[in-house]
Structure 1
């Protein structure tokens, strides 16, 4: 009885931490993102098919761990693709997911795909853009959209200005590491609403590294 009680008390304390319930729910009940493995996707029209993991949904507080598991199951090789379709979510989780993509040598594209591997344009906004930036090559699919905005935190902080500067510094450091122009942070800072980058802007910022004319 004492052992059970001590475990229950520790579990309660753990779940009392900010965001812990969301993490627990996503880990053990229902993930906030969905995935599908596509065995043969021709992203650039070269006729070279590649394996892809398509992910969609909200980036939650446990999405990085979920993503690692899905990658392991998908057995992607360097040069294979991650297809993205998301309106954003947790910034720190997105950065980790982007790092994982880069470590594995994967490419990224904003798109969905049917079972046959035919691509459809999609949207990737807010924190999703950080995942996209992790691609070794970042394909720009015709008709797909990349949206940015100023990042803020909903958690209570003693110094909001310092926290905003910390977040901006983190995003700048991450994007620079991924080879994206520092101008992306200026584009983000211009509005708290989603600002959809034109294909020309995304290319100029080196966010898109390989534009593809066909969807």
Structure 2
């Protein structure tokens, strides 16, 4: 009994220490209680003249969204060239970059839109960290009426040098965007403001952020 109590105490102390780490409680809550994002599988959406299976995700990108997203993709059973539809105000930059890497590894395409059960697309917004997820698509559709918003990223914590952290964040985003085939001009656009700056379609095309504009919906 004494050994059991000691073991239980050790587990409880370790769990307390882990949850005391910055962001640990958010990660635990999102993983086991309530995810910050929602998803739905659409059997067929028509984009650029072809019908494809799609996973639509929306909501804030949280501390555990990358794992949540991978699980939703596994359940959706998307094939290469199937679609990830995005509608999000942004959130955790590191999680968004991982989500984008997963999309690229699975050779999926991305579009900023929502969809009803019949597959009809509606314009939506994708801002801040959501743009990193969108960047993961091998093809990145620009749906008419949908918006892509960028701003300056920061990952500073209390005690950090804000200038150094801003430079580090910019370097991480620049490396990621280049890997995804997107012009470094997007990082210049991000660095100009801490508020959301909505990119015009021509501007996003010039950066190669949008690769294929689509007139619908």
Q: TM-score range by the shorter chain?
A: over 0.9
User: Which residue does 1:8 correspond to in 2?
Assistant: 12
Of 130, 133, 154, 1:131 maps to: 133
User: Which residue does 1:172 correspond to in 2?
Assistant: 174
With structure 1 as the length reference, what TM-score do the two structures score?
0.98
User: Which residue does 2:40 correspond to in 1?
Assistant: 36
With structure 2 as the length reference, what TM-score do the two structures score?
0.97
Whether contact under 8 Å (1:149, 1:194) holds in the other structure is yes
Q: Which runs of 5+ in 2 are unaligned?
A: none
* 1:82-112 CA distance string (max 9 Å, x none): 0000000000000000000000000000000
Of 172, 185, 188, 2:187 maps to: 185
Residue 94 of structure 1 aligns to a residue whose secondary structure is helix
* 1:137-163 CA distance string (max 9 Å, x none): 000000000000001125224322111
Whether contact under 8 Å (1:157, 1:163) holds in the other structure is no
User: Which residue does 2:71 correspond to in 1?
Assistant: 69
Residue 84 of structure 1 aligns to a residue whose secondary structure is strand
Displaced runs of 4 or more, over 2 A: none
Of 174, 181, 196, 1:194 maps to: 196
CA RMSD of aligned residues (A): 0.7
* 1:51-94 CA distance string (max 9 Å, x none): 10000000000000000000000000000000000000000000
Alignment of 1:74-153 (within 5 A): 74-153=76-155
Residue 165 of structure 1 aligns to a residue whose secondary structure is helix
Whether contact under 8 Å (1:125, 1:148) holds in the other structure is yes
Residue 47 of structure 2 aligns to a residue whose secondary structure is coil
- Say which one has the larger Rg: 2
* 1:129-185 CA distance string (max 9 Å, x none): 000000000000000000000011252243221111110000000000001100000
User: Which residue does 1:203 correspond to in 2?
Assistant: 205
Q: In structure 1, what is the Cα distance between the partners aligned to 2:77 and 2:159?
A: 41
Whether contact under 8 Å (2:103, 2:137) holds in the other structure is yes
User: Which residue does 2:22 correspond to in 1?
Assistant: 18
